[in-house]
């Protein structure tokens, strides 16, 4: 279960609205390498994860990603707050505005809606951990790309914080991968899938 | 310290409140990061001692924040001596300013 805290993980106080930048940053709200995808990926993968420390890590990182999802929501909200119709038109925000006014809706920068196909929950320890490692790097690249486009220090500070967290999570998933590999057959990691074959006695994969 | 109403003009510019919230964010961040480290290093006793120390500090700070301002979670409401339900009226984190 979860409990809500009425505070952001990192303070966000943007003084200058900028819909053009909001349009780019929203990709981390509902885009392919965004925080919602990240959270749903880890929180979905954990149920069948046979190693408790890895399932625990997926839970804790998946939980932090929800806090990041909220941070991105706060950034986009503050960047689009109190915009006039003229500003909306001038800053290229009209196509989003017509469908959602100034509300938050998970989509990629190009307008593609959030979709579970943006992440995988494969049910194979190695496959999922490599997916998670790649996801952290893809998000880090996205934040690097955002930082090249953003000049406002009020926006850069929380984006830099989020970028740094991707690197830390990549490190933790790397450690999880090492823990898992130590438990697998050192001659052939793919001998069997501990997430499926591990508890089965009727399976001849273990022979 | 004077207790302030969330709607009062002083509330969002209250430096004492901002600083206390910033301190809570920093201490909690240390706990989040240490906790993930401990997920993959559960036998690191130095890290365990470290996180326990930060959790003790966080509990004290959250209690202070709830008694002076608002409860950051509903479970902190026991530290507030207000008769109204502060949780319902406190500022929302995405509002900006001090949050």
For residue A42, the domain's CATH number is 1.20.1260.10
Indicate if the pLDDT at residue A182 is higher than 80. yes
The domain tally of chain A equals 1
Please name the member of B22, B37, B72 whose beta carbon is closest to the beta carbon of A5.
B72
B65 in any annotated domain: yes
Indicate if the pLDDT at residue A169 is higher than 60. yes
How far, in Å, CA of B89 to CA of B99, rounded? 14
B54 in any annotated domain: yes
* Gap between the terminal Cα atoms of chain B: 19
Beta-bridge partners for A113:
A107
ipTM for the assembly: 0.92
A6 in any annotated domain: no
A66 in any annotated domain: yes
The domain tally of chain B equals 1
Cβ of B32 within 8 Å of Cβ of A168? The answer is: no
B45 in any annotated domain: yes
Yes or no: say if B32 and B97 are a contact pair by the CB < 8 Å rule: no
Calculate Rg over the CA atoms of chain A.
20
Decide which of B25 and B97 is more confident.
B25
Structural domain range at position A154: 19-113+121-187
A181 in any annotated domain: yes
Residues in chain B with CB shorter than 8 Å from the CB of A70 are 93-94
B58 in any annotated domain: yes
A198 in any annotated domain: no
A154 in any annotated domain: yes
Confidence grade of residue A201 (pLDDT, cut at 50, 70, 90): low
pLDDT at residue number B4: 47
pLDDT at residue number B81: 87
C-alpha B60, offset from chain centre? 9
Structural domain range at position B34: 15-95
* Gap between the terminal Cα atoms of chain A: 39
* A to B CB pairs, distance under 8 Å: 78
Cβ of A60 within 8 Å of Cβ of B94? The answer is: no
């Amino acid at each position: 279960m979860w409990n809500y805290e009425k505070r952001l993980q990192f303070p966000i106080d943007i003084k200058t609205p900028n819909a053009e930048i909001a349009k780019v940053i929203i990709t981390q709200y509902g885009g392919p390498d965004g925080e919602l995808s990240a959270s749903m990926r880890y929180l979905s993968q954990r149920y069948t994860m046979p190693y408790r420390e890895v399932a625990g890590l997926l839970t804790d990182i998946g939980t932090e990603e929800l806090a990041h999802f909220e941070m991105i929501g706060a950034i986009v909200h503050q960047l689009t707050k109190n915009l006039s119709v003229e500003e909306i038109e001038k800053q290229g925000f009209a196509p989003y505005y017509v469908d959602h006014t100034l509300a938050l809706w998970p989509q990629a920068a190009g307008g593609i809606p959030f979709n579970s196909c943006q992440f995988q929950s494969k049910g194979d320890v190695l496959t999922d951990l490599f997916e998670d490692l790649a996801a952290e790097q893809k998000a880090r690249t996205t934040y690097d790309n955002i930082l090249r486009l953003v000049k406002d220090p009020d926006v850069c500070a929380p984006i830099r914080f989020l970028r740094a967290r991707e690197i830390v999570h990549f490190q933790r998933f790397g450690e999880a991968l090492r823990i898992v590999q130590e438990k697998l057959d050192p001659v052939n990691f793919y001998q069997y899938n501990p997430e499926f074959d591990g508890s089965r006695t009727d399976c001849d994969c273990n022979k | 310290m004077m207790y302030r109403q969330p709607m009062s003009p002083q509330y969002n510019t209250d430096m004492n409140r901002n600083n206390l919230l910033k301190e809570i964010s920093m201490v909690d961040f240390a706990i989040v990061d240490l906790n993930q480290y401990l997920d993959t290093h559960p036998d690191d006793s130095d890290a365990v001692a470290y996180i326990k120390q930060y959790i003790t500090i966080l509990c004290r700070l959250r209690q202070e924040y709830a008694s002076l301002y608002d409860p950051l979670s509903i479970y902190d409401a026991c530290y507030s001596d207000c008769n109204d339900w502060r949780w319902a009226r406190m500022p929302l984190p995405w509002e900006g300013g001090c949050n």
